[in-house]
Homo-oligomer: A and B are copies of this chain.
Amino acid sequence: MSVDFSLYNKVFENRIRLQIMSVLMANEGYDFSSLKDLLDVTDGNLASNLKTLEKEGYITVEKSFVDRKPNTRYKRTDKGAKAFENHLSALENLIKQQYK
């Protein structure tokens, strides 16, 4: 009757990180300003959660200039994609358990 939570990932407990990763799974890349608008969070909150994902090796950061303005772009890594899929599996198991 207990759900297998071995795939549950503490990194994705946080709502903002869950959302960032969800966006980066659906898109090849996403820049900081667009992520900020989409998730409706402060610069500091977004930056700190992006940093956590980067430290885990779940996303990569590319800094460049677009029309002479600095642009910071984020992409998922294969490791991040796998970890996120595992986490969703754990959540799916939990949901299935409820409706059994």
Contact = CB atoms under 8 A, between A and B. Distances in A.
Contacts of A39: 2
A15 B22 contact: no
Number of copies: 2
A23 B5 contact: no
- Give chain A's interface residue range (CB within 8 Å of chain B): 20 to 34
Contact of A25 (B2, B5, B27, B98): B98
A1 interface: yes
A92 interface: yes
Nearest to A18: B94
Interface stretch (A6-14, A43-51, A57-65, A66-74): A6-14
B22 A98 contact: yes
Nearest to A8: B15
Interface string A25-63: 111000000000011000000000000000000000000
6 contacts: A8-B15, A18-B94, A26-B97, A26-B98, A85-B98, A88-B98
